[in-house]
Chain A
């Protein structure tokens, strides 16, 4: 079955009801996409399907025919988000990180801080407390020339200088959306 994978046309033989997640990991050798819950709750398996974030554990391979899939490997390791996650402590155990970054890639360029939180609400992280992740996304958007913004609520005058000191109790409470 033909589809586009990380910008290249590929032809992969696999059962139509096989999960896209398993086709990526087992048939394509792309193990960057992780399995977490297997029920669309945790977002660890987030990939882009025609540019939209989806849970690869809930997508039948048969529905990927002639469509475009992008995985964490498709970012090439040098994407500003990847660098920012490393620099800002946006990753600890790493299990959620590929899905988190793919969900962030799918955000609109002009997303507001609230939209960023909502856009990542389907991705669960048990290590970081999320603040490092939000800092990383804010930093990457600056690197990409986006509007200088921080995500934490109550950080009014700190826009443009994302840093560890901006962690606030109020923003921590809003973790999840």
Chain B
């Protein structure tokens, strides 16, 4: 590990309220759940901080349940748990599909959906699903609860509306009307970071959310409008090109990502016709 161990501290909250008090009073503190992003940075010698908050024992932040018509997914729910959930298989199958594509078994057993969202990579596999399903991010702080629509959660590359004293505790997903569709394109099936991801919903008001094509996950509202008003696929793809801003990087070129994004849009629309 290329980080100095002696400089690192792991705070052990006894409860959620203790954790929230530590976030407020011991800042800067980095919440630590499954560690699958945090330790990649620590191992590389580019840590996100020196003081970490162990969330592991906050069992109230785990689990998937249906409450008042919405599905509540605790922030500490792992992708392995999401894959095994019968409730999600029925109600949010695109999230189960996304969970299958996260890393491989070893990562799925540890990585949490809250961590995926907090890490904020535009390539995060679960992010387009949460955007397309109109999820709400539930934030807690010592001051109380705040609910933020997922589509307004990110403000820029790895930037969110969260305050430093807030913690993601859950996601609330209302019923999704229509047929859900998900596809991740990468170099191989497992252990890959996506080149382009699309989570979409086929309904009278279609929903389209792309990952890895802009600094943040993109809910492609103009593309959705074209599709909703009976426009052609070419018109929808043209609208999409105005909504995404992919870059060249080690995984892909911007040009390739534009072409694949348009192809995924077409595949979604024809497969769900």
Contact = CB atoms under 8 A, between A and B. Distances in A.
A40 B79 CA distance: 15
Contacts of B10: 16-17, 60, 62
Interface in A24-56: 38-41, 43, 46, 49, 52-55
Given A119-B105, A122-B105, A40 B40 contact: yes
Contacts, number: 101
Contact count band on A:
20 to 34
B106 A46 contact: yes
Contacts of B105: 53, 103, 106, 118-119, 121-122
A70 B230 CA distance: 57
A7 B112 CA distance: 27
Contact of B110 (A19, A58, A118): A58
B15 to A, nearest CB: 16
A177 B36 contact: no
Given A58-B35, A58-B39, A60-B39, A121 B190 contact: yes
Given A19-B1, A39-B44, A121-B191, A60 B32 contact: yes
A81 interface: no
Given A18-B5, A19-B39, A58-B35, A121 B104 contact: yes
Contacts of B36: 40, 55, 58
B43 interface: yes
A142 B173 CA distance: 44
A122 B8 contact: no
Interface string B14-50: 0000000000000000001011100110111000000
A146 to B, nearest CB: 19
B32 A57 contact: no
A154 interface: no
A79 B27 CA distance: 48
A5 interface: no
5 contacts: A46-B106, A49-B109, A63-B56, A121-B189, A122-B105
